Chains A and B, each alone.
Chain A
Amino acid sequence: MARKSTTQRVVVSTIGAWFFGFLIFFPILWMVLASFKTELEAFAIPPSFLFFHWTTENYATVQERSDYLLHAMNSIIIAGGSTLIALLIAIPAAWSMAFSPTKRTKDILLWMLSTKMMPPVGVLVPIYLIYKTFGLLDSRIGLVFILCLGNLPIVIWMLFTYFKEIPRDILEAARMDGATIGRELVYVLTPMAIPGLASTLLLNLILAWNEAFWTLNLSTSNAAPLTTFIASYSSPEGLFWAKLSAASTLAIAPILVLGWFSQKQLVRGLTFGAVK
């Protein structure tokens, strides 16, 4: 009897999980479908799900009108660069806070998080003026810098929680065995922290890839990433859903593929913590 109810529970929860999974995935599916419709079909009410005239015309138009590769390259450089720099700064910071905390460590952590509490538009004009003065407007380095700063609090917090879970005893044991700090870092700590580092890196990469406030406001043409590529397909006067969907599909494709291949790491890092 108990066995039966367990099977039932498994079936119900599997169906439930699939249902909610599909629900969450549906907007992305809908976007992909819309990108293969004509503009009129994309707007049609009632909407057609699969039985419509499939066309790749929108992709052709998007390719013809915009320089996708330039935007994609900018996205890779900006998201990748800001993530790597953020990690380089955050690892030592989180390290010291996790393994040699002081009285003020908690306050510092909270203060860092508090910088995320203000809406970015509140500092748009001062940042814009600073960027103008230093010639950073519409430059990749400028965007790398601002996205790195924006995501740093989250990166430090995540790494701090992972490092905190690593038992000091293991490190001490390594030291007893005569390991130097360098060896201790490379051979003992890094392998244990890899899931945490990987999920932090991936999450930060996704956040930076999708960031649409600073990238839209501080770039014009040379440094414009895929967010501005998407924004250029919305129209106040004229149907645009199908072309916008094609542009969005192209824009999210790289990060979606990356997410797909690294989902194991991502889920492990996010759910289990560092050493469990």
Chain B
Amino acid sequence: MKHVLGAVCGASVLLAVPAMAETTLTIATVNNGDMIRMQGLTSEFTKANPDISVKWVTLEENVLRQRVTTDIATKGGQFDVLTIGTYEVPIWAKKGWLVPLANLGADYDVADLLPKIRDAVSADGKLYAAPFYGESSMVMYRTDLFDKAGLKMPEKPTWDFVIDAAKKVTDKSAGVYGICLRGKAGWGENMAFLSAMANSYGARWFDEKWEPQFNTPEWKTTLTTYVNLMKEAGPPGASSNGFNENLALFNAGKCGMWIDATVAASFVTNPKDSKVADKVGFALAPNTGLGKNANWLWAWSLAIPAGSKKTEAAEKFVAWATGKDYTKLVASKEGWANVPPGTRTSLYQNPEYLKAAPFAKMTLASIDAADPNKPTVKPVPYVGVQYAAIPEFQGIGTQVGQQFSAALAGSMTVDAALAAAQTATEREMKRAGYIK
């Protein structure tokens, strides 16, 4: 009997080995708060899927982009799930680098994704990435400083109002600056803000024939307004300020207004990090009455590279991390205010979320106001609000960003910066074969 039992046990162990064989997913991501939270909650996913284990690779945004691009272009197969932005999705989908996400499960509810965000991560009507959190940009302002100056922020402010208010709120002797804006060079830094601002002034990156447009009066007005506004009402050394520097300034109470990513709203209203948490109001990004606001659209999304050999497990993970149940999981563990924002309609109909996140309404309105397929007043041949979704844009955007940052720092005039931007962009576009 003993022998029989032993044999049965042995056989069952042998049989169990292949059944327990684990699929290990390698997931590449960036070090943003929501992604860190997702890493922390991964055990819930592996508990529900014991045959899958997860390894995280967290990298700095630009390093990640380079790392992932090398791997995907050489079909290295090192990653099974990638965190990418709306800029990469249409380009990579066109190259056949991403797996279309057709099997996310019956209860995934693709129709619940916010239409603008869904468009931004789709190509040819197919979903190529699942949005993890979405963002636009908006005005965050200090209600106490506005009250003191006798100002009332409209829900849809114009640039004229914002400029006037910035000057009135500025009190340099007290270390308070009317407005904080991005100045650090980079296609995802100052150019994200300036491209969106230019859209509201009727400017565009390229005309219908891909001719660069920096020699137009619209761009001149945009850059002149920006440089003059920052000189009069901006903090010193603004040409080296990006998202994080401005976040620190705003949280320390040094900015009257800050126009930046909607995701910042949860940081500036968090009393643990912000000295002004209870004194912040929100409004749509400014306009000039031409029909476009100065706000962008972005979504950090999860995608599966074509080189992955574990597509099925990867799809399970993507569906889990971007599904409705994940939202509930975060809410139950860390509260509704910490739920990843900007991806699902149902979240903005949830009274508990609306109560916990005072910025929710304005975030949704901002996302709705951006249109990546029609980003500008005049027609354009590209997709993308604060970028043009072509592979060359990263390089061009950063070169132009350096010129504009120099104009802000005062080491170059606005005219010279625009001329240099025009020359550099023309050269790159000729080299890439868009224009002759």
A128 and B74 contact, Cβ closer than 8 Å, known pairs A234-B31, A238-B32? yes
Whether A237 lies near B251 (C-beta < 8 A) is no
- Please indicate the chain A residues that have their CB under 8 angstroms from the CB of B70 in the complex: 124-125, 128, 217
Closest residue of B by beta carbon distance from A126: B74
Measured CB to CB, the closest approach of chain A to B199, in angstroms, equals 21
Measured CB to CB, the closest approach of chain A to B211, in angstroms, equals 31
Closest residue of B by beta carbon distance from A61: B36
A221 and B248 contact, Cβ closer than 8 Å, known pairs A232-B31, A238-B267? no
- Please indicate the chain A residues that have their CB under 8 angstroms from the CB of B373 in the complex: none
Say whether A68 faces chain B, with CB atoms less than 8 Å apart. no
- Please indicate the chain A residues that have their CB under 8 angstroms from the CB of B245 in the complex: 43
Closest residue of B by beta carbon distance from A39: B273
Measured CB to CB, the closest approach of chain B to A219, in angstroms, equals 9
Say whether A40 faces chain B, with CB atoms less than 8 Å apart. yes
Interface size on B, residues (CB 8 A): 42
Whether A235 lies near B244 (C-beta < 8 A) is yes
A228 and B76 contact, Cβ closer than 8 Å, known pairs A236-B32, A237-B261, A238-B31? no
Say whether B243 faces chain A, with CB atoms less than 8 Å apart. yes
Whether B39 lies near A65 (C-beta < 8 A) is yes
Q: How far is B56's CA from A232's CA once the two chains are assembled, in angstroms?
A: 10
- Please indicate the chain B residues that have their CB under 8 angstroms from the CB of A220 in the complex: 26, 28, 55, 57, 78-79
Closest residue of A by beta carbon distance from B61: A236
Measured CB to CB, the closest approach of chain B to A64, in angstroms, equals 9
- Please indicate the chain B residues that have their CB under 8 angstroms from the CB of A45 in the complex: 248-249, 252, 254
- Please indicate the chain A residues that have their CB under 8 angstroms from the CB of B188 in the complex: 236
Closest residue of A by beta carbon distance from B78: A220
Say whether A69 faces chain B, with CB atoms less than 8 Å apart. no
Q: Which single member of A44, A132, A217, A234 contacts B252 (CB below 8 Å)? A: A44
A125 and B244 contact, Cβ closer than 8 Å, known pairs A40-B252, A221-B26? no
Say whether A240 faces chain B, with CB atoms less than 8 Å apart. yes
Whether B273 lies near A129 (C-beta < 8 A) is no
Q: How far is B60's CA from A83's CA once the two chains are assembled, in angstroms?
A: 28
Query: Which positions in B face A, CB cutoff 8 Å?
Result: 26, 28, 30-33, 36, 39, 55-61, 63, 66-67, 70-71, 73-79, 188, 243-245, 247-249, 251-252, 254, 261, 263-264, 267, 273
Which 9 residue pairs spanning A and B have beta carbons closest together? Answer: A43-B248, A232-B58, A234-B60, A235-B31, A221-B55, A236-B61, A220-B78, A237-B32, A132-B76
